[in-house]
Chains A and B, each alone.
Chain A
Amino acid sequence: MQLSERHQEYWRKNLRLTAVLLAIWFVVTFIVIYFARELNEIVIFGFPFAFYMGAQGSLIIYVLIIWFYAHRMNQLDKEFGVHEGDEE
């Protein structure tokens, strides 16, 4: 079948959301590791910052990223009328 303009837009929005969240994931993982030696000079809650991120901070952000994605996409499905049947 031919996809409608709205369908295309849904997919574009999905891609944009995916890209933004992936960028956050990249920063809290790889950028933080790359500069770990320098970032450890900063102290947060009594922890050196890079250590804190590796042990807790990044993990919390991962959980939030996934929560936000599920929440936002489930909303988008409804907005664009591509959600599944009547479960809830």
Chain B
Amino acid sequence: MSTQSQFFSQLKKYYTFYTGGFISFVIVLAILEQMGLPPNWIGYIFLAATIMLYAGIGIMSKTADVSEYYVAGRRVPALFNGMATGADWMSAASFIGMAGTLYLTGYDGLAFIMGWTGGYVLVALFLAPYLRKFGQFTIPDFLGSRYGGNLPRTIGVVAAIICSFVYVVAQIYGVGIITARLTGMEFQIGVFVGLAGILVCSFLGGMRAVTWTQVAQYIILIIAYMIPVVWLSVSHTGNPIPQIAYGQVLQEVTAKEKELNDPTTTLGAAEASVRAIYKEKQLAAEDRIKALEAAVAAGSADAVVGEARAALDAELVVLKATAEPDAQKIEAKEKEIAELTGPDVLMAKLKKAADGAKKSAGPVAPHATPFSGKGAEKKLLATNPNATAAEIAAAKAEDEEASNVKRRNFIALVLCLMVGTASLPHILMRYYTTPSVREARKSVFWSLFFIFLLYFTAPALAVLVKYDVYHVLVGSSFASLPAWVANWAAVDPTLMKIADLNKDGLVQLAEITIGGDLVVLATPEIAGLPYVISGMVAAGGLAAALSTADALSHDVYYKMIDPKASTVRRLAISKGLLLVVALLAAYTASLKPGDILFLVGAAFSLAASAFFPALVLGVFWKRANYLGAVVGMLAGLAVCMFYMYTTYDFFGGVAANEWFAIKPIAAGVFGMPAGFLGVIIGSLISRAPSTEIQQLVDHVRYPNLEGDIKAQTA
């Protein structure tokens, strides 16, 4: 259609203009910074300008038409749909957390990179084209029509709400962190400011506004991610393509790791002395744990807690008595004392201290080596040079077993993330917005392409920052630390902590504690770029978090609407629900629920177990029927939730309940087979679906089928 291609070239013009506008905006701010604009002003300007921009796009694409509201009128071209899906997909976790996770865990962190890209292969091959041909609005719609009856649809709605809600909370949490960083506001206030931005966008124009805003957000986030990495790459290697250049950097990092782990070198000896200090701390903490356990058993735990409190009180007195009292430290100590209410708290604190010290007491884990073992063999040889052959063999076997468990978990996690990707309702419904099946197929390609651009840069960034830390920071003197180290250590000790433990005046690797989120946020400063680039990176992170939260909050509420209500009523109700859901999610996020990575992973495992079998068999196996879908979805969900419940400590589960030592985050690896078995068995023991439904399957399988049941209406 010529109108479609006209629309496409118009869009291209708009977004080219927009990108140019954004770059000039950054340049203007950079000039203003040179003229003396203070950094927190730059933060405010970035925050205000980008949120206003997104809101502006939202207002411009305001709509009350149902088809526009839910599926953007089904005329989003593949390229732009790909960009919007990319922005939707890349949440705060990908933008800020990914490179940090890779920095901290090396090869083992690649599970997220592979899982969150490879899943699109499953989307492309098994779902996107068929769901587009089906042509309804939501995934529960598909389940309802394909399997008949209300039950499959209802289970679908409930499962979708569970997955999406968990995910929205994680996103709003990210928005809060970035808003707080960018402007210096309180985290809890940041959450609600960020929420206002989300609501403005999706309230106004539904899916249409969300889609066009997300394209804008993608452009900002990818520019913001790339510039600092390219700069860092040029300054370290002279090569402007970091993805190629970091192979050589990685080799240097690996060589340095060997040196740091070898106590016969100067650097290695210094590291060893710091590790010895950590070892002592670990043993001290472990002794206190034992003493506390004994006290609990003897019924005298309160005395031990009292002693601990007395020790803290004494520290507080010392802090207050110094010549220049540090208000922050005093406040932190007072909080610590107030929170110490009983033996449970003390025990948790001691365990954390012991674990932290144990980690720092060990050697540097090599970045590129997969599934490192426990180092039992090395330890044995170091402590007992005359170990017998049998002892060495036992230690080796122990190492290999530890390594195999890691590999098993890596594989399970990758599988869950991939299948979960292909089951998350908010991603699948993206392919409903394209004009045709053909465009839906192309659109998956563009989605993955735009996601890939960021994901294959993240490992490069992690290695480049590691190079910087190992070569510039380690071995430098405490008297002349680089500015970024001091700045971040002052901002947030969970992101950057550095202390001269062995008092030699030089920095050792073991003396630095880096939080994962630091890697992306501090890269501009490490690369020596002006503050305006830092502001831009934060704005990029905000774009990533907002874009995901937008679509999701949208997704959560519109599944709950009464399908028989009138259009106007439907939109009114769904907007009201959006408000409730968003406030609820923001409230949950402001409580700072523990482990975000677990929340996100759990959402993937749940989605994979609940949806994937019923969706895929619905298209590829005509025999699949009502009973199969109900049994399969319930079985998948039940097994997955049961596994998490019995193994994740938050629910009071214990690791001893794990099957094959698989971590609860990858619970989907058991839920999926249960789901498939459920669909198959349930279908085989009941009657084959009606001819009408079998014809629906044919309708979905062929992009255009003459004489098809729905040929006219599709």
Contacts and interface: CB of A to CB of B under 8 A. Distances in A.
Interface of A: 1, 3, 7, 10-11, 14, 18, 21-22, 25, 29-30, 33-34, 36-37, 40, 45-48, 50-52, 54-56, 58-60, 62-63, 65-67, 69-70, 73-74, 77, 82-88
A64 to B, nearest CB: 9
B438 A83 contact: yes
A65 B4 CA distance: 27
Given A1-B695, A62-B448, A84-B437, 8 more contacts: A7-B702, A33-B114, A34-B411, A37-B370, A55-B110, A84-B703, A84-B704, A85-B704
A3 B459 CA distance: 49
Chain A interface helix/strand/loop/mixed: helix
B445 interface: yes
Contact of A84 (B371, B436, B444, B452): B436
Nearest to B123: A66
Interface size class of B (residues with CB under 8 A): 35 or more
A33 B411 contact: yes
A7 B705 CA distance: 9
Chain B interface helix/strand/loop/mixed: helix
B168 interface: no
Interface in B176-198: none
B441 A55 contact: no
B103 interface: no
8 tightest CB-CB pairs across the interface, nearest first? Answer: A46-B247, A54-B110, A70-B441, A55-B459, A36-B370, A51-B368, A66-B124, A1-B707
Interface string B582-613: 00000000000000000000000000000000
B124 A54 contact: no
A66 B113 CA distance: 17
A62 B411 contact: no
18 contacts: A1-B695, A11-B701, A11-B702, A22-B125, A33-B114, A37-B370, A47-B250, A48-B369, A50-B370, A51-B110, A51-B370, A55-B110, A65-B121, A66-B444, A66-B445, A77-B438, A87-B435, A87-B438
A10 B449 CA distance: 28
A7 to B, nearest CB: 7
B698 interface: yes
B401 interface: no
Interface in B505-534: none
A29 B705 CA distance: 36
B144 interface: no
A1 B691 CA distance: 10
Contact of A83 (B126, B403, B442, B704): B704
